[in-house]
Amino acid sequence: MTGARVGSSLTDEQEAIRDLVREFAAEEVRPGAGEADEAESFPEKVWDGLAELGLTGLTVPEEYGGFGADETTYAIVNEELAYGHLAVATALSVHCLATSCIAEFGTEDQQERWLPEMASEGRPVGMFCLSEPHAGSNPAEMSTTAEYDPETDEYVLNGEKQWITNGKRGGVAIVFAKTDGDDERSITQFLVPADAAGFEVGRKEEKLGLRASDTTGISFDDCRIPAEKRLTEEGKGLSAAFRTLTGGRIGIASQAVGLAQAAFDEAKAYAAEREQFGGPIDDIQTIRHKFAEMATDISAARLLVREACRQAEAGEDNRVAASKAKYRASETAMSVTNEAVQIHGGYGYTTEFDVERFYRDAKITEIYEGTTEIQKTVIARGVLGQ
């Protein structure tokens, strides 16, 4: 990446990780991104490379062979990977949601069974199954049920999840289901291996962007899992999901910053080369102002991410800060990728240039892990003291 970066108050270790991931993203991730997007196929070789670097264990505690990354390191890795390819960063961040849930809520046996492999091999790949066809922004409206069978000491899962990242390539899922009654106080979190009988992967969605990332439905048809696979006490699942998602939102915000930075850098290189009216277009004041605006927006978004990380590391409640970061960073990704296409003119509208893919990819950052409207709801509630 080029250009001045703000927020350089990183430790030596964080800088070293940033440089490592930046190099990996430039050499191994970015070159195949366009092809993977066109083929709608996840680059598994890149995933294996992430595992070799230890990044699939980013949020796994060190005692289980993971990185035990702090929030800032988590954010930096997401930013640098998204600079290379958003679909790869998304897949990793969902895998990390799954490992975080096991690390935070699992028993010692569950942690020993799953975390070392998920960290060192990157497999089984993790999934996070919260959304449903009729329950997105309000997951409390979910209808998947988990009924306890005392005779076999098992739960029987029935229902349907939607929009599941890593749906086809995933091997283990964190699943939220209602255990008793119909209100949110009955939502419970389970760990469900994808090879459990009755765990069915639906068709892959065809999407505007993020096309190399597989997004599918997952349904449960009398899917029996031993009671020991319950991750939270009955009824404690939704608050656990929201806690996990606060960290997840910092990841998505960081990805949005990385994507915006990639678009900025492409536009900068293009504007220096492209000549109109007898000189490079980056001599034209209107174009120069676009760069001033984009650079300022990216810096502001990155600083909001860093503040959300700082609050988490200080043990403060960072829910509002995480929502501010996600809201601002995803809007920045949208506006910067839009301007990057504009600066490329007609060429930017073709698949010949990466900015076309960046523009399509950016939209998802305003939708998943809580839409912009939901982030504003969280922020308003916080700042109004409600």
Ligand X SMILES: Cc1cc2nc3c(=O)[nH]c(=O)nc-3n(C[C@H](O)[C@H](O)[C@H](O)COP(=O)(O)OP(=O)(O)OC[C@H]3O[C@@H](n4cnc5c(N)ncnc54)[C@H](O)[C@@H]3O)c2cc1C
- Active-site residues: which are they? 369
Instruction: Rule CB under 6 A: choose which of 73, 144, 165, 318 binds ligand X.
Output: 165
Instruction: Rule CB under 6 A: choose which of 55, 164, 240, 259 binds ligand X.
Output: 164
Task: CB nearer to ligand X: give 305 or 364.
Answer: 364
Task: CB nearer to ligand X: give 120 or 371.
Answer: 371
Task: CB nearer to ligand X: give 57 or 170.
Answer: 170
Q: How far is the CB of 12 from ligand X (least distance, A)?
A: 34
Residue type at position 372: T
Q: Does 136 sit near ligand X (CB under 6 A)?
A: yes
**Is 341 in contact with 359 (CB distance < 8 Å)?**
yes
Residues belonging to the chain? 386
Site string for ligand X, 278-317 (x = CB under 6 A): ----------------------------------------
Q: Does 131 sit near ligand X (CB under 6 A)?
A: yes
Q: Which two tokens stand for residue 174?
A: 């964190």
Q: Which of 264, 265, 325, 336 is nearest to 300 (CA)?
A: 325
Return d(Cα 154, Cα 194) in angstroms, integer: 16
Q: Does 57 sit near ligand X (CB under 6 A)?
A: no
Instruction: Rule CB under 6 A: choose which of 11, 137, 296, 350 binds ligand X.
Output: 137
Q: Which two tokens stand for residue 196?
A: 């459990």
Cα 384–chain centre separation: 28
Beta-ladder partners of 170? 125
Q: Which two tokens stand for residue 200?
A: 């069915």
Q: Does 129 sit near ligand X (CB under 6 A)?
A: yes
Q: Compute the chain's Rg from CA coordinates.
A: 21
Phi-psi region of 345 (alpha: psi -120 to 50; beta: other; left: phi over 0): left
Q: How far is the CB of 201 from ligand X (least distance, A)?
A: 13
Q: Does 55 sit near ligand X (CB under 6 A)?
A: no
Stretch that binds ligand X, among 45-53, 178-186, 269-277, 360-368 (CB under 6 A): 360-368
Q: Which two tokens stand for residue 17?
A: 């990780």
Q: How far is the CB of 207 from ligand X (least distance, A)?
A: 6
Instruction: Rule CB under 6 A: choose which of 215, 254, 311, 365 binds ligand X.
Output: 215
Q: Does 130 sit near ligand X (CB under 6 A)?
A: yes
Q: Does 128 sit near ligand X (CB under 6 A)?
A: yes
Task: CB nearer to ligand X: give 298 or 334.
Answer: 334
Task: CB nearer to ligand X: give 11 or 138.
Answer: 138
Q: Does 377 sit near ligand X (CB under 6 A)?
A: yes
Q: Does 369 sit near ligand X (CB under 6 A)?
A: yes
Stretch that binds ligand X, among 30-38, 64-72, 284-292, 369-377 (CB under 6 A): 369-377
Per DSSP, the three-state class of 175 is strand
Q: How far is the CB of 342 from ligand X (least distance, A)?
A: 25
For the chain, the straight-line distance linking the first and the last C-alpha, in angstroms and rounded, comes to: 41
Task: CB nearer to ligand X: give 187 or 295.
Answer: 187
Return d(Cα 25, Cα 9) in angstroms, integer: 22
Site string for ligand X, 80-99 (x = CB under 6 A): --------------x-----
Return d(Cα 339, Cα 287) in angstroms, integer: 9
Give the residues lining the site for ligand X (CB under 6 A). Answer: 94, 128-131, 136-137, 163-165, 207, 210, 215, 364, 367-371, 373-374, 377
